[in-house]
Each structure stands twice: as C-alpha cells, then as structure tokens.
C-alpha cells in the first residue's frame, strides 16, 4: 500500500518553481494507479520522491510500511523504477544490462525469469545488441524488464508510453495488466488521457496539484457540464460559429467531431437553426458521454 | 491549392541490408495539412530527414519546395521550417534571443527581425515574456512559440515532428488552430503525431508500415475504406500487419 500525505516540493532559488503542492493519495495493493496530466505538471517530481531519489520539502510518503526518506535503503529494494528518460547502460548489451541489474539486487535472471518472460522474450533475439542501438519500443521493453528483475512489490513507471505509437501503447498496457495479476502494485504516469481507462484509479494532475482523483468512471460521472457532439463539413468555420453562440460555453475539436458544452436551457433544434442560418445545413448534434479528456478540460477551463 | 510543394518518387533509404524507407511515392499540395503517420520504427523519421535535405536517399527522386532533394538539398533547408517535440528552442536563451537567433540563421535582416518580433509577441500575447528564459515557459507556450519561430521566415513548408506530445488537451487544440492559420496563409504543413484525433484534423493522411506507405487519403475516406469508426481503428488495422519486430 502507498500512503502519500501532504507532499510539497519546490525548486530553484527561494523555491520559485512550485512542483508539488499538497499532494495526498493512497494506492491499494495490486492496484494500477495512474497519474495523468501534461508535461511539467509535476508527475516526475512526485515519482522521484516516491523512488527516494529526491527529498520532499514537507509531507510524507509510506510505501508498504516504509518511509521514503528514513527507510530509503529498504524502499530501493522493494520498488522497480522506470524513469521517463531511457537510463540503462547504452554500451552494455541487452543481456548484460539485465544481468547487471539482477546482480545489483543480489538475485539472478533465472530466479525471476517468470516475471519478465512475457516481455523479455520479445527482445531476446537481440540480446547481444548494445542497448544504445535498440529502437524505442525495444528500449522500453528492456527498461521494464530491468525494473522487474528483482521482483519488486511496487512498480513506478514514469511516462512509459511517451512517444510510443497507439498499437505499441496498447500492447504495453496489456503487459501491465498481466503484471497486476501477479500482485504487483503499479504507479504509472502518462500525458495520454485515453490511457485512463486502463487504470483502476486515476488522479488528474495540473500545475503540481491533483484536481481530481477517483476511478475513471467516477471522474466521468462527476462531469458537471451538458456535453454535445457536433458533426458537419467545414470544421474550422463551424468551430468559429459555435464559439460565437452565447449559449455555447466551450467548443473544442475532438477528432472528426466538435465537443461543445452548452447552457442547460439550449435546445439542439435551436442550435441547428442557428447553424443553418450560417449556411451549415448538414449538421448533426447529439448528446454524448464525456471522455476523461473532456473532464480534464472542464476541470482546467 | 493544386500546386505541388512536395513530390517524391520511389524514395528509398537503406542502411546496410536494412531498408528503412522502401520506394515511397506521394505528393503534397500547397497549403495542405498532411499527416504523416506510422508505428515506431516504420521509417517516418528517416523519410522526413530525406525530405528536409539532411539525409541522402539511396534511390529514388523528388523535389521539396521546388528543389531537387539530391542536388539542391542546401536550398531546401533554407525554404522549410522544422520543429519537433524533442528539440525546438534553446532553453537557456530568452524568448527574444531565440527569435533573433533563428531569424538570423534564415538570413532575415536585423530590421525585419525586430519588426516581426514585436508583431509575433503581440499576436501570441507574449509581450510580457520577451525577456523570459525559454526553460521557464510552460510546455504548451514553448511549443506555440517554437511553431511561430519555425515559420518566422515564411517558409513554403513546415515540418512538425510530434509537436504536441505531452501538451495539455486545451493547448493541444490551440496549437492546431495555429496550424490552420498557417495553412490558410499558404504554408504547407507536414506533421507527424501519435494522437489519432489529430489525424482527423489533417486534409490527407499517409500511414507507413515497414518502410512503405500502405494507405494515403483523406481521414474520412480512410475510415470508409477500412470500415472503421475512427482513425485509431484504421491505424490499428494497418499497423498490425507490420512484420518488423521493432516496437
């Protein structure tokens, strides 16, 4: 279990940059907990504190009973940490990296092979290749294997899917699902809002603060606005007309549709007539359920 | 809209026995927003490097902004703009210094740079940040500034390599509105992204699989052809066929 209470962290002279402001949350054993927000929101600072790599200014974090400041030696044994930037030894081979990390933790690759088998098998054909010469996707798999080889109780993954294409991202989350089944607690951060649904619970983070924390469905259920999807030809011009309507509160492109939030007393027919007057005759309007991205935007507007 | 600013035929790049880009042919029209998609390792970066004149093709031919990519690659560099998520601006220079530097690199006069800098900062509502070091700007602001700097010299084409990675949802959309403005002014936009909703914002999209372009059309037509509800699904259907054990 992870228990974080009132964490604060600032950087720079006179604490000019406020990285984390009063962060509190808990993660249960065997849960996948996602910290979701844009770059610069404080995700990496939070994870570095939990990995005992930097000290918080105040507040506490207890991981499976161990304090990240006082018990840092123990923390480092029970966690597996995958930093945002690839940080394995580029000049060692795939296999050498893995053996090195196993040895550091006083174990062997054979002893915990069952944990990484699923992931490592995909890069094993390249085990003699230097880590620096691997492609992005393979580096990611090697980094995850190295973070797992000492059988950690808690896995901390800082933006493991940044810059990764949609298909490989899905595969990566499938792997995390299987690790969860083995009882590993997983704390993961991402800037991709669509990955929220793969987590048991999530926190939305912005400018060092959690602006919401719940199950993905709970966050969606709390959405305060009336949300419609608008479809039509000439999206850019349509967006402009929607913004000009005084009962439309916000309008943003979402793929091939426009999501708008509207005043409660606006009727879809009324909006359709308004758009028809502006020569948009083929417009379709329908109420829709929000995505986590809609929720994030409503919370930060 | 019919003038072609990129035209390539059978463009190929081999590294030893490995064919990174395998005979790709396509063209991009003036003022078009062209989405260049593909899985990690499909060959997008290598293809883009050839188009930007920084990597010589092994075979094939083409022109970018009217210049031959083999014989006139130096001229290409002067007529394009480029920005990526990984590198766009110098963090330890101030906002105005970055604009000054890139304006100078592209050969604009001091007078032009000074005038355009004021104009740009006003447009972006950035006037108060003139003397701020770029590293202190929030990512979304940085990317908006980087895009403006990339098109500061009014290039015919701007290449954007994952420009919105990690940017917050509202900023990501503001960024795309800037892309639309640039396209309206006649600047052709060539963009890669891993956000499939952004693929919808492009006029046409190509999807690379194992070094080849496997599909190229408008997003609506691609969805229709693959009987898919979203570009995400189109991408998945195509990328699943990939044989390179790369990603």
**Amino acid B39: pLDDT:** 87
Q: Which residues are CB-neighbours of B80 under 8 A, at least 6 positions away?
A: B52, B53, B64, B65, B155, B156, B157, B158, B159
Residue B22 lies in a domain: yes
Q: What is the pTM for the complete model shown?
A: 0.89
CA distance B22 to B18: 10
For residue A11, which residues of chain B lie inside 8 Å, CB to CB? none
Number of helices (H), then strands (E), belonging to chain A: the values are: 10, 14
- What is the token pair recorded at A219? 């966050």
Does B168 or A55 have the greater pLDDT score? A55
Please indicate whether, in this complex, the C-beta atoms of A164 and B194 are within 8 angstroms of each other: yes
B113 to chain A, closest Cα gap in Å:
30
Cβ contacts (< 8 Å) between A252 and chain B: which residues?
Answer: 169-170, 173
Mean pLDDT (chain B, rounded) = 93
Whether B173 maps to a domain, the answer reads yes
What would the mean pLDDT of B232-243 be, rounded to a whole number? 89
Residue B247 covered by a domain: no
| DSSP H helix total and E strand total for chain B | 9, 10
User: How many domains are contained in chain B?
Assistant: 1
A positions 106-145 inside 8 Å of B (CB): 122, 125, 135-138
User: What average pLDDT does the segment B26-43 reach?
Assistant: 93
Mean pLDDT computed over B198-217? 95
- Chain A residue with minimum CA distance to B232: A166
Query: Which of A40, A164, A165 minimises the CB distance to B138?
Result: A40
Task: Report d(CA A10, CA B55) in Å as an integer.
Answer: 43
Best mutation site among B32, B33, B40, B133 for testing chain A: the one with the most A CBs within 10 Å?
Answer: B40
- Give Cα separations from B245 to A138, A154, A174, B39, B126 (angstroms): 9, 29, 18, 11, 45
Domain residue limits at B105: 4-239
Residue A164, min C-alpha distance to chain B (Å): 7
CB-based contact A40 B139, cutoff 8 Å: yes
Q: Please check whether residue B75 lies inside any domain of the structure.
A: yes
B111 in a domain, yes or no? Answer: yes
Distance in angstroms (rounded) separating the CA atoms of residues B38 and B171: 24
Closest CA in chain A for residue B170? A297
B90-132 pLDDT, tens digit per residue, is 999 999 999 999 999 999 999 999 999 999 999 999 999 999 9
Q: Indicate yes or no: CB of B247 within 8 angstroms of CB of A206.
A: no
Cα–Cα dist A193/A177, whole Å: 18
Interval B6-27: pLDDT, tens: 999 999 999 999 999 999 999 9
Within-domain flag for B162: yes
d(C-alpha A221, C-alpha B156), whole Å: 47
Q: Identify which of A168, A191, A254 has the shortest CB distance to residue B40.
A: A168
Find the closest chain B residue to A159 by CA distance: B166
Among the listed residues B206, B241, B171, the one whose alpha carbon sits nearest the alpha carbon of residue B44: B206
| pLDDT value at residue A14 | 63
A162 and B CB contact within 8 Å: yes
Among chain B residues, CA nearest to A166: B194
Whether residue B246 is predicted with pLDDT greater than 60 in this model: the reply is no
Nearest chain B residue to A256 by CA: give it.
B200
**Residue B99 belongs to some domain of the structure:** yes
CB contact under 8 A, A165 and B171: no
Share of chain B above pLDDT 70, in %: 98
Give the separation between CA B57 and CA A255, rounded to whole angstroms. 34
CB-closest option in B40, B140, B173 to A137: B40
Which CATH number do you get for residue B199?
A: 3.40.50.300
Helices marked H in A79-124: 94-104, 113-120
Predicted confidence at residue B214, as pLDDT, reads 94
Per-residue pLDDT of chain A (301 residues; tens, 9 = 90+): 999 999 999 987 666 678 999 999 999 999 999 999 998 899 999 999 999 999 999 999 999 999 999 999 999 999 999 998 888 999 999 999 999 999 999 999 999 999 999 899 989 999 999 999 887 778 889 999 999 999 999 999 999 998 888 888 898 999 999 999 999 999 999 999 999 999 999 999 999 999 999 999 999 999 999 999 999 988 888 999 999 999 999 999 998 899 999 999 999 999 999 999 999 998 999 999 999 999 999 998 8
Contact residues on chain A for B181, CB-CB shorter than 8 A: none
Beta A185-190 vs A154-157: how paired, if at all? Answer: parallel
The reported pLDDT for the residue numbered A138 is 85
**Minimal C-alpha gap between A70 and chain B (Å):** 32
Closest residue of chain B to A38, computed from CA coordinates: B168
Residue of B nearest to A11 (CA): B136
Q: Which domains does chain A have, with CATH numbers?
A: 2-219 (3.40.50.300), 226-300 (3.30.70.2070)
Choose between A87 and B76: higher pLDDT: B76
Residue B178 contacts A where some CB pair is shorter than 8 Å: no
Distance CA A34, CA A190 (A): 7
Q: Note whether A38 contacts B173, CB cutoff 8 Å.
A: no
ipTM: 0.85
Domain membership flag for residue B244? no
Q: Name which of A19, A38, A94 to mutate to probe chain B: the one with the most chain B Cβ atoms within 10 A of its Cβ.
A: A38
Question: How many percent of chain B have pLDDT more than 90?
Answer: 86
Phi, psi of A188 (to 5 degrees): -135, 140
B239 in A contact zone (CB under 8 Å): yes
């Amino acid at each position: 279990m992870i228990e974080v209470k009132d964490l604060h962290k600032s950087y720079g002279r006179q604490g000019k940059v406020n990285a984390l402001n009063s962060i509190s949350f808990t993660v249960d054993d065997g849960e996948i907990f996602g910290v979701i927000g844009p770059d610069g929101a404080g995700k990496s600072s939070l994870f570095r504190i939990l990995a005992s790599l930097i000290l918080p200014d105040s507040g506490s974090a207890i991981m499976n009973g161990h304090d990240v400041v006082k018990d840092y030696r123990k923390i480092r044994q029970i966690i597996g940490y995958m930093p945002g930037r690839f940080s394995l030894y580029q000049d060692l081979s795939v296999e050498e990296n893995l053996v090195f990390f196993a040895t550091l933790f006083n174990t062997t690759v054979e002893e915990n092979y069952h944990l990484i088998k699923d992931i490592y098998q995909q890069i094993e054909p390249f085990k003699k290749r230097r880590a620096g010469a691997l492609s992005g996707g393979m580096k990611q798999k090697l980094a995850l294997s190295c973070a797992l080889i000492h059988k950690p109780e808690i896995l901390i993954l800082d933006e493991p899917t940044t810059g990764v294409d949609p298909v490989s991202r899905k595969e990566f989350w499938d792997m995390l699902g299987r690790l969860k089944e083995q009882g590993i607690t997983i704390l993961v951060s991402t800037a991709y809002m669509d990955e929220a649904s793969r987590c048991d619970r999530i926190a939305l983070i912005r400018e060092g603060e959690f602006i919401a924390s719940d199950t993905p469905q709970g966050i969606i259920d709390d959405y305060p606005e009336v949300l419609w999807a608008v479809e039509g030809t000439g999206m850019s011009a349509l967006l402009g007309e929607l913004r000009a309507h005084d009962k439309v509160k916000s309008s943003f492109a979402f793929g091939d549709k426009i999501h708008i939030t509207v005043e409660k007393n606006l009727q879809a027919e009324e909006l359709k007539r308004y758009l028809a007057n502006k020569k948009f005759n083929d417009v379709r309007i329908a109420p829709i359920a929000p995505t986590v991205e809609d929720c994030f935007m409503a919370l930060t507007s | 809209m019919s003038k072609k600013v990129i035209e390539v035929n059978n463009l190929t790049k081999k590294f030893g026995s490995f064919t990174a880009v395998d005979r790709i042919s396509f063209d991009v029209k003036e003022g078009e927003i062209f989405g260049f998609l593909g899985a990690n390792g499909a060959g997008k970066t290598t293809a883009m490097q050839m188009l930007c004149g920084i990597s010589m093709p092994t075979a094939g031919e083409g022109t970018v902004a009217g210049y031959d990519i083999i014989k006139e690659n130096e001229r290409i560099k002067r007529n394009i703009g480029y920005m990526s998520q990984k590198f766009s601006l110098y963090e330890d220079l101030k906002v105005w210094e970055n604009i000054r530097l890139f304006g100078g690199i592209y050969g604009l006069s001091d007078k032009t740079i000074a005038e355009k800098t004021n104009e740009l900062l006003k447009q972006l509502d950035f006037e108060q940040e003139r003397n701020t070091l770029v590293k202190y700007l929030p990512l979304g602001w940085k990317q908006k500034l980087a895009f403006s700097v990339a098109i500061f010299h009014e290039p015919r084409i701007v290449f954007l390599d994952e420009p919105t990675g990690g940017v917050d949802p509202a900023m990501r959309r503001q960024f795309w509105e800037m892309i639309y403005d640039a396209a309206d002014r006649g600047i052709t936009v060539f963009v890669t992204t891993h956000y499939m909703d952004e693929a919808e914002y492009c006029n046409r999209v190509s999807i690379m699989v194992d070094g080849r372009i496997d599909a190229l059309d408008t997003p609506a037509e691609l969805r229709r052809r693959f009987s898919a509800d979203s570009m995400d699904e189109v991408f998945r259907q195509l990328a699943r066929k990939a044989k390179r054990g790369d990603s």
